Structure 1
Amino acid sequence: MIVKSKCLNTDKKKNLYIVSTPIGNLSDISFRAVETLRKSDYILCEDTRVSRNLLDKYQVQSNLISNHKFNEKKNLSKIIKLINEGYYVSLISDAGTPSVSDPGAILIRECIKNDIEIIPLPGPSAVTSAVAISGFSEKFFFYGFFPEKNKVLIDDLDALSKIDCSIVFFISPKKINKLILLIKKNFAGRKILICREMTKFFEEYLRSEVNKLELFKHNLKGELTIVISEKTDQRKNSNILSESDKRFVRKMINKISIKEISNFLNQKSKISKKIIYDYCLKIKNEK
């Protein structure tokens, strides 16, 4: 479907512009993004009805081409032809950055094959926004939406549970209760941040420990962005040396330095170096 309007651009560069759009609040768009969209002869939209709300707000009157996951392959030759003919073409999604868990990746790969320059216009991102406020590790792995097939989901979660960094998921509110048990099984001991309706009027941020997660009693609205923390060290600091640690001290006290013993046991058992050091002195003085 093509929604036509009055727009003709004389810029004949063969580029595809990847334009990030707001993830909720329509004011979260850059001046450059608005300027680029106004200059575009054609804007590829995931849903033209959703995009029209944004474009009308900023008086963008470019031609719109519906480009979603069900027709993006079919659109390829038409879009490549438009770009090669010198039309100014931009790609947006309903929210955020195109091709990141949204349509666009197929077109980008086709442009690369056809030596078409791809120009990104950075902007709002649910992923980086959620990680930024999580308080978790700045190193993160973005997974995206959960797969439909249960076996793939189980295998992927098992693999992800071994990664020691923050992990970001997109989840439909209709599926969150079905996934909570799997999250608890695979990420026990970690912390979790659930972001709902980010940047919108009813935005909400729920922080919890994965072990304490409970099923939601009411249906949630709005796509969820979830961040799970890096692995937490399950070994708590202790002020008591275990019998095996004491045996190690007695065995090594005359072979290596007290400092080396303290460093080793501190890393192994998370016991205060002072506790280890004092015990080493005690054993040394007994000999």
Structure 2
Amino acid sequence: MNSFLPGLYIVSTPIGNLEDITLRALNVLKNSDKILCEDTRRSIKLLNFYGIKKKLIPNHKFNEKKISNSIIQSISNGERISIISDAGTPIISDPGLIIVKECIKNKIDIFPIPGVSAVSTAMSVSGFDDQYFFYGFLQKKSSLIEKEINKIKDYDANIVFFVPAVKINFYIKYFKKFFKCRNIFIGREMTKIHETFYRENLDKFSGFKEKLKGELTVVLSKKINNSSQENFFDENKLIKDIEAYLKRYSLKDVVKLVSEKNNLSKKKVYNICLSIKKK
């Protein structure tokens, strides 16, 4: 690849499914002299999957500043260095910003190799409009969380957060306190076998009873009114509920019960009931 110039390559990698990577990204990784990564144990799985044999250099929040000078020197000597994260697009809530700034400071070329991002993936299936504000990870201490959220609680846009699954109920209590009249979308294990989406009205959502694993992408909707709220519901769960009700109650009673419980129009519920009965 003669046109593969010296510089820093910001390479997007899969967020779960290893097939979600571009041909260009694979070509860049194959032609890199070194690859910076968060965790060599995770990144080696991706490289082995595609038969790429390259030197991996750990690059994380504890050593990024320390190694930045040597990386700049390597690129200045004509090397092509790629940076990847454990999942998705590097720098976005991941290590790498220090090295990018050093490259800019030293007038070293930086090449974006776009691809998968958990942010755009979640937004595409959230059911919300395309205006959003990406926040990333919140602080861990209560006082700092409240200080941060106070700055953004009135934003008239969808807001995207990254949340560790084990802490989701902890953060939901702050979402409920500061973000009134909004819906919440939660993407778990996106693009993986156990991919699951949760869609709830935040005011009514009390959190999860079971323990979740991994990292979650959470999207809070814009403030909602009754008409927009009606368009937001978990259809699969609703169908299961209606199927159970129809075995016990009349069609008329089911329509009344479900429409009131889920804040949906009777016509919408009636049509769902009819489609179930026709199966």
After TM superposition, the score normalised by the length of structure 2 is 0.78
Matched, 1:96 2:103: no
- Between 1:76-85 and 1:10-19, the stretch displaced more is 10-19
Alignment coverage as a number of residue pairs = 228
SS in structure 2 opposite 1:206?
Answer: strand
Equivalent in 144, 169, 172 of residue 136 of structure 2: 144
**What is the CA–CA distance in structure 1 between the aligned matches of 2:78 and 2:160, rounded to whole Å?**
39
Contact 1:46 1:66 in 2 (8 A): yes
**What is the CA–CA distance in structure 2 between the aligned matches of 1:217 and 1:204, rounded to whole Å?**
15
* Number of the residue aligned with 2:276: none
Structure 2: gaps (5+ residues) = 229-279
Structure 1 pair 12–222 and aligned structure 2 pair: CA distance change class (3 A): closer
SS in structure 2 opposite 1:183?
Answer: helix
RMSD: 1.7
* Number of the residue aligned with 2:218: 226
Matched, 1:128 2:111: no
**What is the CA–CA distance in structure 2 between the aligned matches of 1:38 and 1:169, rounded to whole Å?**
33
Which of the pair has more CA radius of gyration? 1
SS in structure 2 opposite 1:212?
Answer: coil
Matched, 1:166 2:158: yes
Structure 1: gaps (5+ residues) = 1-8, 237-287
The residue identity in structure 1 corresponding to 2:29 is L
SS in structure 1 opposite 2:219?
Answer: strand
SS in structure 2 opposite 1:211?
Answer: coil
Give how far 1:148 is off: 2.1
**What is the CA–CA distance in structure 2 between the aligned matches of 1:46 and 1:112, rounded to whole Å?**
21
Contact 2:8 2:83 in 1 (8 A): yes
**What is the CA–CA distance in structure 1 between the aligned matches of 2:160 and 2:21, rounded to whole Å?**
23
Give how far 1:36 is off: 0.4
* Number of the residue aligned with 2:20: 28
Structure 1 pair 56–117 and aligned structure 2 pair: CA distance change class (3 A): same
* Number of the residue aligned with 2:107: 115
The residue identity in structure 1 corresponding to 2:170 is K
Identity of aligned residues (%): 50
* Number of the residue aligned with 1:50: 42
Alignment of 1:174-189 (within 5 A): 174-189=166-181
Contact 1:11 1:88 in 2 (8 A): no
Give how far 1:73 is off: 0.5
Contact 1:12 1:87 in 2 (8 A): no
**What is the CA–CA distance in structure 2 between the aligned matches of 1:111 and 1:18, rounded to whole Å?**
12
Give how far 1:222 is off: 1.4
Contact 2:85 2:94 in 1 (8 A): yes
Give how far 1:137 is off: 2.3
* Number of the residue aligned with 1:87: 79
The residue identity in structure 2 corresponding to 1:210 is L
Give how far 1:14 is off: 3.1
Q: Deviations over 1:97-150 (max 9, x none)?
A: 110000011110010001011100000000011111111121100000011232
